[in-house]
Structure 1
């Protein structure tokens, strides 16, 4: 690089030395140029080059120099926050090292390599005389991040495809809904957006242990297990000045309904700009998505994972007990619950704190459910340890094991207080565990990573190995009950539930059938009010299956308490003569109308207007009013853009035209969110490749 070029891209330090950090070249080599090309951002175990021009007459070729790296408010040798490094003849990529690649009477060219175990965050570099410490040149500050491309780093991931997806991809898909009919949400992780890196590092510095004793806390700032645990605790605000406060039921006043969010940057910026005051509100997928943003930004490969029919086992006995009265109202006798879905993240790392065999994907959950070592956090829990029932391994393996493996026991409580065990289901939880596939927008089923097949010998053996509960005997049944629906079920349309009662004996049975339908939220809480009831008596011939259709209409179910349109179906059939009972419980999810979006331009070009058209079909038997379309997308729209939409008549196809100007090149994802008076947070997306001019 010429002296003239160096002067343009250089930073004067203390008036004595000009520093050319070669921001663009170094950051590109370290795969951090998407964050910035105006400051130096490096990755552990990988060298970078800088040029120095001494302007005070100092002759570096006649002086023996050494480098001093400092991090934290009170750098010390004792905790590894102050490291003195002599120049050597060759770089040692296994520790902090540096070489002088060339020198003159006033200039130095240096190659420097941070240790693959370096503490992440801001570091300052000083050059000093090896024998006269009064001779010092403060070179400047740079950032060190984890390096999944470095085989010596604990987060090393040996796959270009996976690194591109789990570190570099700023967009993702989160799976929600129910195991019978899942839907997906596109999400803007935005880990390379301007200022997000500084916010992520601020999150680490706001952790209670760091605030109390920075010197002690910094000892572990280079350990991915420790960083994942801090982020898990700090993304929720239950114990600290963390990012998000959770709320699972109205009102959502003084905040944002969780389903409204489309991306992490808006949440993180709001937290930072408001003095690190908690942002209202989050639910599991929001906690997980923000966690993914922070960990990817810091360089830890991370993906968002959804577990359908997820158990929340509060007493760690691997049994989920649910109690109902004769009107199918939840009795609230147990704090256990089954969520239609629950979302966490997996991060890739070596587990040097565990015995061999438990490296790789680790479950990390920021949703505040239970305390872990006195703090609302969860993980990192080795996914392999979960599958093998190694419940003694840290961190929080028993809790995640229960989420995918717990047995479910349903109880009926009569008016006199008598309890009757009506159903035991060993396979009700832990279904269709899902994440976005590498390089595509397809779903990848990773259930087999967490558990052996339901009903298999291996699953039974692992459950027994976990040794947290006794086997629950249940008598052979002569009466069975199941419920089915035709999928998909569309919100705004009528649908039918079929009750199937089976007589397994050679004698005729007279039975009483009860059916209830209630709206519910995704985390397991049902409304007390029934939207549909049925009670009738039937006669079933020997060895017969009788189907009883029950129709539900839009007028009966109407609007839902959240964006997942969930209905809990409960039915109990009773043999009138023997009082034998059979029970069936099923959750269904109604599908919202789709947003269809298309680009009207031939192509998208940097800093040129893009025109799109969004269409939406009103499938409801009523006019849709108060319609608003919100658009967001990293590199496409700065912040959010809202478009007010006229009322949409019954069966009308609304068409909405929007314009925006992309400000970054590459593959980008436009995210859309539609709200109206009858439904909210209908999601859509469009992949857009933005080209140079």
Structure 2
């Protein structure tokens, strides 16, 4: 007798979607859905039908799940269908539930650290009495995503009600404009649109992040912050700020992410044009689609510290003529934006000492390179707040953005309030400044900034300048020489730019 030959494999896309919190994805709501979307570390059901009855004494059925074209221990799960299979959150398993002549029902369990992406399935059958094999390749998509509902997942959010906002809500707001006239701009994230997950897979492939790293939300969000801008690797959006948008779409004309991602996937070319709120909107779409809790954050009066001094510096000659450049950093000068928009993403940080899990800042707007590429974060908000810049990634840059040593940096830090949407007003506005910094001018806030200075080589070189500013804020006097003051004077206005970065 020949090995079993597969007739049909089916994974009940809609039935599995409900317990996996993926029922909102359009792909599983087709009349006859062929795409399966589940979350890692959680069992899902399937069935396989063969062309002849299954013989429990002789037939062997093996399921082989693979991610990418070069399978490794981390990107391949191989298991035999058995009645006595025991699920384990750290490994693959497939438990045989029922046999009805030629039809086998089973449940698959995946590791809670599994790389996320579009997995393929091969069914291999053979008999104990013969080495001959039959191979069947399942041609439908099986997406396995992060699972923030699972306490063992690194993206787990203990207050599960908030996942309705930060993973499942496909409509939100981005606050744009100067502090006196800032307004909430509605944004359609559309993470459940049929085009989004394929676009995410294309993005990750274009970013060339190894498949075995795609289960780590730290590496994934850092990669997302890089690939949403086009500066390094033909990413999604081209940034432009000069007002010349005739050969593309003006940033202000975008109202959501789906059209951008669809154009990127279809053309496989960078999409013109974006600015900070557009980058942030696309980042939230990608993160929520993959299962990483995310929110858009608007910082009103935002510093760009180009030289890692944790200050916004202006330089003068000895005759008090202002220099238009930073003599220590010819590539760019410090500046202040009326507002700047980035993202927070939620995860545990087992790579860091305890206390740095939770919200992490990432920024997809290309401003400064980090490890040689235009990427930023994830930087723990707790580290930013306390000025602990020795933890990864880019805490120093984010600390300066919200608390550079100038009195009016980071006046408000806004995001959408969970479970509220006010299309005509600002009742859905939430100021989260307390999560980023201590009260302006307080001893804790000063200490946090001085902590940053203490651990920053560039900032330490101007530490006497920081001490001078600290004395001034506390009503004291600076004892620096006039010559030193001329070189290190800070403008109380900085380089005020209009618009967003």
TM-score with structure 2 setting the length: 0.83
Q: Is the 1:71–1:124 contact (alpha carbons within 8 Å) kept by the matching residues of 2?
A: yes
The residue that corresponds to 1:92 in the other structure is 88
Question: Which segment drifts farther, 131-140 or 170-179?
Answer: 131-140
Q: Is the 2:6–2:50 contact (alpha carbons within 8 Å) kept by the matching residues of 1?
A: yes
For 2:302 and 2:121, how far apart are their aligned partners in 1? 48
The residue that corresponds to 1:22 in the other structure is 12
Match of 2:218 among 219, 222, 225: 225
The residue that corresponds to 1:144 in the other structure is 144
The residue that corresponds to 1:360 in the other structure is 358
Query: Residues 59-74 of structure 1: matches in 2 within 5 Å?
Result: 59=55, 62-74=58-70
> Is 2:110 the partner of 1:124?
no
> Is 2:487 the partner of 1:522?
no
The residue that corresponds to 1:83 in the other structure is 77
The residue that corresponds to 1:259 in the other structure is 252
Runs of 4+ in 1 over 4 A off after TM superposition: 129-133, 474-477
Q: Is the 1:434–1:443 contact (alpha carbons within 8 Å) kept by the matching residues of 2?
A: yes
The residue that corresponds to 1:269 in the other structure is 262
For 2:90 and 2:416, how far apart are their aligned partners in 1? 34
> Is 2:414 the partner of 1:434?
yes
> Is 2:21 the partner of 1:31?
yes
For 1:61 and 1:183, how far apart are their aligned partners in 2? 69
For 1:323 and 1:152, how far apart are their aligned partners in 2? 51
Two-structure CA RMSD over aligned residues (Å):
2.6
Q: Is the 1:16–1:56 contact (alpha carbons within 8 Å) kept by the matching residues of 2?
A: no
For 2:443 and 2:47, how far apart are their aligned partners in 1? 64
For 1:385 and 1:248, how far apart are their aligned partners in 2? 31
Q: Is the 1:21–1:49 contact (alpha carbons within 8 Å) kept by the matching residues of 2?
A: yes
Q: CA deviation at 1:61?
A: 6.2
Match of 2:235 among 242, 260, 264: 242
Q: Is the 1:61–1:104 contact (alpha carbons within 8 Å) kept by the matching residues of 2?
A: no
Q: CA deviation at 1:33?
A: 2.3
Q: CA deviation at 1:297?
A: 0.5
Q: Is the 1:17–1:56 contact (alpha carbons within 8 Å) kept by the matching residues of 2?
A: no
Q: Is the 1:338–1:523 contact (alpha carbons within 8 Å) kept by the matching residues of 2?
A: no
Match of 1:52 among 30, 41, 48: 48
Q: Any idea what the Cα deviations from partners look like across 1:74-108, whole Å, max 9, x if unmatched?
A: 2233xx22222244433223422221111133110
The residue that corresponds to 1:399 in the other structure is 397
Structure 1: gaps of 5 or more residues: 1-13, 211-216, 408-425, 478-515, 525-693
Q: Is the 1:161–1:438 contact (alpha carbons within 8 Å) kept by the matching residues of 2?
A: no
The residue that corresponds to 1:456 in the other structure is 442
For 2:12 and 2:400, how far apart are their aligned partners in 1? 51
Give the number of aligned pairs.
442
Q: CA deviation at 1:205?
A: 0.6
For 1:133 and 1:322, how far apart are their aligned partners in 2? 77
Tell me which structure has the larger Cα radius of gyration. Answer: 1
For 1:225 and 1:463, how far apart are their aligned partners in 2? 25
Q: CA deviation at 1:520?
A: 5.4
The residue that corresponds to 1:280 in the other structure is 272
Q: Is the 2:337–2:496 contact (alpha carbons within 8 Å) kept by the matching residues of 1?
A: no
**SS at the partner of 2:226?**
helix
For 1:148 and 1:435, how far apart are their aligned partners in 2? 20
Q: CA deviation at 1:159?
A: 2.0
Please state which structure has a larger fraction of its residues in helix. Answer: 2
Q: CA deviation at 1:143?
A: 1.0
**SS at the partner of 1:300?**
coil
The residue that corresponds to 2:487 in the other structure is none
Q: 1:159 to 1:181 in 2, by over 3 A?
A: same
**SS at the partner of 2:295?**
strand
For 2:359 and 2:56, how far apart are their aligned partners in 1? 48
Q: CA deviation at 1:219?
A: 1.9
Q: 1:160 to 1:76 in 2, by over 3 A?
A: closer
The residue that corresponds to 1:443 in the other structure is 429
Query: Residues 168-567 of structure 1: matches in 2 within 5 Å?
Result: 168-207=168-207, 209-210=208-209, 217-274=210-267, 276-322=268-314, 332-334=324-326, 335-407=333-405, 426-441=406-421, 442-467=428-453, 468=459, 469-472=462-465, 473=468, 521-523=498-500
Q: Is the 2:85–2:93 contact (alpha carbons within 8 Å) kept by the matching residues of 1?
A: no
Q: 1:52 to 1:476 in 2, by over 3 A?
A: closer
For 1:197 and 1:81, how far apart are their aligned partners in 2? 19
**SS at the partner of 1:163?**
helix
**SS at the partner of 1:100?**
strand
Q: Is the 1:61–1:105 contact (alpha carbons within 8 Å) kept by the matching residues of 2?
A: no
For 2:439 and 2:6, how far apart are their aligned partners in 1? 68
The residue that corresponds to 1:162 in the other structure is 162
Q: CA deviation at 1:318?
A: 1.1
For 2:23 and 2:290, how far apart are their aligned partners in 1? 14
For 2:93 and 2:257, how far apart are their aligned partners in 1? 36
Q: Any idea what the Cα deviations from partners look like across 1:579-602, whole Å, max 9, x if unmatched?
A: xxxxxxxxxxxxxxxxxxxxxxxx
For 2:14 and 2:197, how far apart are their aligned partners in 1? 17
Q: Is the 1:350–1:360 contact (alpha carbons within 8 Å) kept by the matching residues of 2?
A: yes
**SS at the partner of 2:184?**
strand
Q: Any idea what the Cα deviations from partners look like across 1:345-400, whole Å, max 9, x if unmatched?
A: 00001111111110110101100000011110100111111111111111111000
TM-score with structure 1 setting the length: 0.61
Q: Is the 2:176–2:184 contact (alpha carbons within 8 Å) kept by the matching residues of 1?
A: yes
Q: Which has the higher contact order (CA 8 A, sep 6+)?
A: 2
